[in-house]
Structure 1
Amino acid sequence: MFTTEEACLVVVDVQGKLATIVDESEAVIENVAKLVQAMQALEIPILWLEQNPNRLGGTALDIAQHLQGQAIAKMAFSACQEQEFVDALKASGRTQFIVTGIETHICVYQTARQLKEQGLEVEVVVDAVSSRTKANKEIGLEKMKALGILPTSTEMILYELLQHADHPHFKTVLQLVK
């Protein structure tokens, strides 16, 4: 079970034009934005990434407006190959990682895989990831599941983190998922 004490959200490359052309782009951006807002309410750290931002642009505004601090810029497809991410990962002290973003079969897959290979608990939010084609999203999810990276959904992970209706932030999170 993922907990507020151990969880960390990883937002992978929801940026530039690509964010608008992936399969079900509006739903993905909306769900990532919900997750970001909920994590902030629950005081869960967020690590957000941008692939080659000078060429691909910044994080989608609907998400970026809710984020604080700076994105971690990267050139490697797996964030785990970027020292700034590795340092932020260690500094977080967290052991459970909730992975979202694009593209499922490239940067999301490679990042999630390498997090899992480090012995960390990793889940991928299926309604908050995408690729340009549905087929690539599906194969990315299948490969992650085969590695023991379990699928979850926006609502499922949020209710798992809350654990009960009398949680102090239940109403805040409820408003996000309604």
Structure 2
Amino acid sequence: MIAIDIQERLSPHISNINEILPRIKKLLRVWRIFKLNILITEQEKLGETLGEIRDILWSNDIPVIRKTYFSCARDSKFLHELKRINPSQIVLIGIEAHICVLQTALDLIEEGYEVHIVLDAIGSRNENDKKVAIDKMTIAGAIPTTTEIIIYELLKSSRDEHFKEILKIVKEN
């Protein structure tokens, strides 16, 4: 999963951030339970990743990639980390949907990755920009999904050893 630019100076300006942020936190907690790879990006000059996100993730094993390009896929450190973890599928969450999420998705699709966009865990300042970005990403080949869909796809069964723990997370508001 790539958590794009969920930063202090940008987040307060995002439409529906109060709905998006809890979903982002759920996804990150579930990713940690399953021990799946997470990359965090920060756009230069927009402050650090939000404290409530850092509280879930901050450890030495999760790289924070500070970038100047809007597309993560144009940053050499990001590409190095992506090559290191070698994913077949990439899940994108974060902000802003019509800038950094969009450009990252398009570049990763062009490079041959299967890209999933968690529609209820991305945001923009303007809802119309988000809608158009979703349309562009989907037309380009990104797979739209939601927080609950992707969590249950990971679980696969109520017999999963993590089911009860994750069910509690899913039911949180």
Q: TM-score range by the shorter chain?
A: over 0.9
Q: Which residue pairs with 1:18 in the alignment?
A: 10
1:101 aligns with 2:94: yes
Is contact 1:97-1:123 (8 Å) kept? Answer: yes
Counterpart of 1:170 in structure 2: which amino acid? F
Q: How does 1:77-156 map to 2 (within 5 A)?
A: 77-156=70-149
Q: Which residue pairs with 1:59 in the alignment?
A: 49
Q: TM-score, normalised by structure 2?
A: 0.94
1:162 aligns with 2:168: no
Cα distance, 1:16 vs. partner?
1.5
Q: TM-score, normalised by structure 1?
A: 0.92
Q: Which residue pairs with 1:4 in the alignment?
A: none
| Count of residue correspondences | 168
Cα distance, 1:92 vs. partner?
0.5
Tell me the alpha carbon deviations over residues 48-98 of structure 1, each in whole angstroms, 9 at most, x when there is no partner: 10000xx21111112111113341100000011111110110110211111
1:35 aligns with 2:27: yes
State the alpha-carbon separation in 1 of the partners of residues 48 and 165 from structure 2: 27
State the alpha-carbon separation in 1 of the partners of residues 95 and 128 from structure 2: 14
Is contact 1:10-1:98 (8 Å) kept? Answer: yes
Q: Secondary structure at the match of 2:56?
A: coil
Q: What percentage of residue pairs aligned between the two structures are identical?
A: 36
Q: Which runs of 5 or more structure 1 residues have no equivalent in the other structure?
A: 1-8
